[in-house]
Amino acid sequence: MQCEICGREIHGRGHTIVVEGSEMTVCSLCKDYGEEKSTVVQHGVVKVVKKEKKVKPIEFTEELVENYNEIIRRERERRGWSQEELAKKIQEKASLIRKIENKEITPEPEVVEKLERILEVKLREKVEEVKVQGRKIENLTLGDVVIIRKKKK
């Protein structure tokens, strides 16, 4: 571990200090540059500040369902609305609705939310994001993605 201020190799435990609101791990020579954070003295009692929990390897994120465009079209037509009418209701352009229904574009989260509200449907689902050593798996083929992404029950 190296001191974040002078870059010297830290021997032993080092010191966690707060400099202008951000935490730094520094050597004993640099610890006076900020307020030491490892212990906080309060009313004469020494409290140990707990470290933040490590991020779990699996996270859930919300993703658009595969057939979101079909759901939007179906629900819109069920209500007898034209693309223009639906667009007006969510204060967007009709061309945007057309592109979404044709899957030409992926709608912005705000647009998805408005569509979910007005059509009373769920267009997103929770998916597991598998992380390897804290990194997201990227550049997988479609087959791989299907295997590692399981729907949350």
For binding to Zn ion (CB under 5 A), which residues are involved? 3, 5-6, 8, 27, 29-30
User: Residue 120 Cβ, how far from Zn ion at the closest point, in Å?
Assistant: 59
User: Residue 46 Cβ, how far from Zn ion at the closest point, in Å?
Assistant: 24
Cβ proximity to Zn ion, 9 vs 138, nearer residue: 9
Cβ proximity to Zn ion, 25 vs 83, nearer residue: 25
60 secondary structure, DSSP code: E
User: Residue 69 Cβ, how far from Zn ion at the closest point, in Å?
Assistant: 57
Cβ proximity to Zn ion, 6 vs 18, nearer residue: 6
- Are 152 and 128 in contact by the 8 Å Cβ rule? The answer is yes
**Run of H or E residues at 118:** helix 109-119
